[in-house]
Amino acid sequence: MLRAVGQRATSGAHYSRVMSTEPRVAPPATSVARGVARAGDDAAAAAAPTARVVLYSDDSSTREAVRRAVGRRASKDTPMVDWLEVATPDAMLAAVAAGGVDLLVLDGETAKVGGFGLAREIKDSYFDAPPVLLLVARAQDAWIAAWSQADATVPYPLKPMEVADTVAGLLRARTSA
């Protein structure tokens, strides 16, 4: 299975994308902040909880916009985000079936099989389905998001603060339940 791995450049201004069939490689043993390596970062990084977020869209620019809006952590009180980007409905359904997913971010405007139908299918198929955030074309699409049993919606154009706040809220609700 191909995995899109996003790595932040040293300037933090953009992501470089690497397609790989290999599993993700752990980050380096020490992190560098202002040119000084801090001892104990390995243990802190290993002990830090992560939230697995599946991001489904056939548009790579939409996936990048969501990743940039949320970043590595949606808020200070939520876990680090482990992104899994998928562009096909089969890959998204396989990720959910594999388990361990804390949040689904689905693009309602994806061609052929949109996020609305997939959200409904997941909510109907899994008893303990992860929360679903739907990206919708208009705020007026809330009625179809309700039909799809989505937990939250964010309309286009995506506003980074709104996306991050919504993701943070859904992750908080998931971890407190």
Answer yes or no: is 16 within a domain. Answer: no
Q: Does residue 9 form part of some domain?
A: no
Classify residue 167: in a domain, yes or no: yes
pLDDT, mean of residues 31-43: 40
pLDDT confidence band for 8 (50 / 70 / 90): very low
For all residues of the chain together, what is the average pLDDT? 80
47-73 pLDDT per residue, tens:
678 999 999 999 999 999 999 999 999
Query: Which pLDDT does position 144 carry in this prediction?
Result: 92
Q: Please indicate, yes or no, if residue 41 is contained in any of the structural domains.
A: no
The total number of structural domains in the chain stands at: 1
Which domain, by its residues, includes 170?
51-176
What confidence score (pLDDT) does residue 36 get? 37
Produce one character per residue of 24-55: b if its CB has 16 or more CB atoms within 10 Å, e if not.
eeeeeeeeeeeeeeeeebeeebeeeeebbbbb
Judge whether 14 and 23 are in contact, CB under 8 Å. no
The domain that contains 149 carries what CATH number? 3.40.50.2300
- pLDDT value of position 97: 96
Give a yes or no: residue 23 inside a domain.
no
User: At 8, is the secondary structure helix, strand, or coil?
Assistant: strand
Residue 96 resides in a domain: yes
Sign of CA dihedral 127, 122, 78, 6: positive
Residue 33, token pair as written in the block: 């902040």
Cα gap 105→119, rounded to integer Å: 10
- Report pLDDT for 141: 86
67-120 confidence digits (pLDDT tens):
999 999 999 999 999 999 999 999 999 999 999 999 999 999 998 899 999 999
Note the pLDDT of residue 140: 86
Domain membership flag for residue 170: yes
Q: Looking at the domain assignment, is residue 2 inside a domain? A: no
pLDDT classification of 41: cutoffs 50, 70, 90: very low
Average of pLDDT values for 156-170? 96
Sign of CA dihedral 60, 46, 44, 104: positive
Residue 29 has pLDDT above 70, yes or no: no
| pLDDT attached to residue 43 | 52
